[in-house]
Amino acid sequence: MNNKFPLYLKLPMVLLTIVLIVFIMITAKGVLVPVMISGMLAVLISPLSSWMEKAGLPKLLAVFLSVVALLGFLFGLSYFFYNQLIGFADELYLLERRMTELLQTFNEFTERHVEGAVPISFDNIQGAVFNYLYDNMASLTQGVIATATTLTIVFIIPIYIFLFLYFRHFLIEFIHRAFPEKDQEKVQKVVHKVKLVVQNYIVGMFVVIIILAILNSIALYSFGLRHALLFAVFAALLNVIPFLGPFLGATLPIAYAFLTKDSLWYPFGIFLTFYVIQLAESNIFTPRIVGGKVSMNPFMTILALLLGNFIWGLAGMILFIPGMAMLKVIFDEVDGLQPYGFLLGSTRPKEEEQIPTKPLAERIKSLKRKKK
């Protein structure tokens, strides 16, 4: 008996399913985003909790200390940006004065060379900004409410991380019980690979961010740019957003150099330096450190960014990349879904895209042993 549906019935069902999934993801954003962030961070620090449990600590205490260590690191990072932004805020009046001087120079140039040119003043720009804020007060009010919701989520995420860590073996057992006995080996393989995807992505990106922060700092300090460390670390952190993040990270120091330096060679030099650093990151650091576990072709990466921004905003742009990488692992192991895994994968030769079977730390140690 043939139970296959004809194409004119199957296509509407698939489209309806996709629309329903997207609708649920948008509607349940306040629940799904913190759960996904918490799950990824819990997978990241699970080796630390397992190590403390093997050392003899009770499971409850090991999980608690792991969460505290993660929160301590995040608090230190936030404190660093807080101090840097305070120093940067003290110079805002200088930037305003410099902007006024540049506008005056631009107006004098246009008056001499362009007939009937209307001069631009800093007061006009401020007025336009205030008019925009007044006209979009409703949207801004919603943004404030969204910010309050985000602050609430920030306090919920540590609780989710704790629960994910404490019940991680219980959740893995549930996944195994959800599938028949004949598929247990494949389920174990998928769970192991998904865990490695998350750990290698987050740890690898953290290592890449440190390298970029150091290179950016050296570059900006060499140009004598004030607040070089703030711009360098911020640009490195934005690198988690492919394509768009590096562009935004380079724009800020270039604009600051344009406003504070007397020569155009400074912003041009910063642009050129950041371009070279970004080339090294794309072709050397990320492929070798993060590895092929999260490698997707540029088309699917851009599509993931657009879909993530549409569904979950900035959080979606960050989460959809490792999320699609996890989907690729699942598609590669499920019969009938391998073509979709191929669609998400990299266009590099298959031997270059092999998924490592060891965590990042073990792969680094093995490389050191080979060199010896």
Q: Which residues contact 310 (CB under 8 A, 6 or more apart)?
A: 316
Please report how many Cα atoms fall inside a 13 Å half-sphere around the Cα of residue 232, on the Cβ side.
Answer: 24
Q: Is residue 341 part of a domain?
A: yes
Q: Is residue 345 classed as helix, strand or coil in its secondary structure?
A: strand
Residues 271 and 310 in one domain: yes
Note whether 355 and 348 are within 8 A (CB). no
Per-residue confidence (pLDDT) for residue 183, from 0 to 100: 81
Q: What is the rounded average pLDDT of the residues 8-33?
A: 84
One-letter amino acid for residue 226 of the chain: R
Q: Is residue 89 part of a domain?
A: yes
The angle subtended at Cα 347 by Cα 343 and Cα 350, nearest 5°, is: 100
pLDDT band at 68 (very low <50, low <70, confident <90, very high): very high
Q: What is the rounded average pLDDT of the residues 192-206?
A: 82
Q: Is residue 355 part of a domain?
A: yes
Model pTM greater than 0.75?
no
Q: What is the rounded average pLDDT of the residues 133-153?
A: 51
Q: Is residue 313 part of a domain?
A: yes
349 — alpha (psi -120 to 50), left (phi > 0) or beta? beta
Residues 108 and 65 in one domain: yes
Residues 308 and 275 in one domain: yes
pLDDT band at 369 (very low <50, low <70, confident <90, very high): low
Most confident stretch, 23-32, 96-105, 213-222: 213-222
Note whether 254 and 272 are within 8 A (CB). no
Residues 344 and 218 in one domain: yes
Q: What is the mean pLDDT of the chain?
A: 78
Higher pLDDT, 46 or 368: 46
Higher pLDDT, 5 or 232: 232
Residues 116 and 206 in one domain: no
Record the tokens describing residue 47, joined without a space: 């080796």
Q: Which of 143, 178, 213 is the last residue of a domain?
A: 178
Q: What is the rounded average pLDDT of the residues 138-159?
A: 61
Q: Is residue 273 classed as helix, strand or coil in its secondary structure?
A: helix
- pLDDT tens, 203-223? 888 888 899 999 999 999 998
Residues 218 and 343 in one domain: yes
In sequence order, what DSSP letters do the residues of 73-98 get, joined into one string?
A: HHHHHHHHHHHHHHHHHTTHHHHHHH
56 — alpha (psi -120 to 50), left (phi > 0) or beta? left
Q: What is the rounded average pLDDT of the residues 60-89?
A: 87
In sequence order, what DSSP letters do the residues of 39-79 get, joined into one string?
A: HHHHHHHHHHHHHHHHTT--HHHHHHHHHHHHHHHHHHHHH
Q: Is residue 154 part of a domain?
A: yes
Dist CA 172 CA 168 (whole Å): 6
Q: Which of 178, 212, 228 is the last residue of a domain?
A: 178
Determine the structural domain holding residue 365 and report its residue range: 201-372
Residue 350 has pLDDT above 60, yes or no: no
Handedness of CA 302, 144, 94, 103 (dihedral sign): positive
Residues 50 and 111 in one domain: yes
Per-residue confidence (pLDDT) for residue 338, from 0 to 100: 82
Dist CA 216 CA 234 (whole Å): 10
Record the tokens describing residue 98, joined without a space: 């410099």
- pLDDT tens, 49-58? 989 988 888 9
Residues 292 and 152 in one domain: no
pLDDT band at 61 (very low <50, low <70, confident <90, very high): very high
Q: Is residue 183 part of a domain?
A: no
Residues 155 and 238 in one domain: no
Q: Is residue 262 classed as helix, strand or coil in its secondary structure?
A: coil
Residues 56 and 115 in one domain: yes
Poorest-confidence range of 12-26, 127-141, 267-281, 314-328? 127-141
Higher pLDDT, 333 or 101: 333
Q: Is residue 136 part of a domain?
A: yes
Dist CA 212 CA 237 (whole Å): 9
Per-residue confidence (pLDDT) for residue 19, from 0 to 100: 87
Domains of the chain: total: 2
pLDDT band at 162 (very low <50, low <70, confident <90, very high): very high
DSSP secondary structure code for residue 167 in this structure: T
Which of these, 307, 335, 324, 22, lies nearest to 198 by C-alpha position?
Answer: 324
Q: What distances in angstroms separate CA 45 from CA 59, 223, 236, 250, 261, one per listed residue?
A: 14, 38, 22, 31, 44
Residues 76 and 36 in one domain: yes
Q: Which residues contact 71 (CB under 8 A, 6 or more apart)?
A: 158
- pLDDT tens, 270-328? 999 999 998 888 777 777 776 555 667 778 888 888 888 888 887 888 888 888 888 88
Q: What is the rounded average pLDDT of the residues 253-264?
A: 84
Q: Is residue 68 part of a domain?
A: yes
Residues 207 and 174 in one domain: no
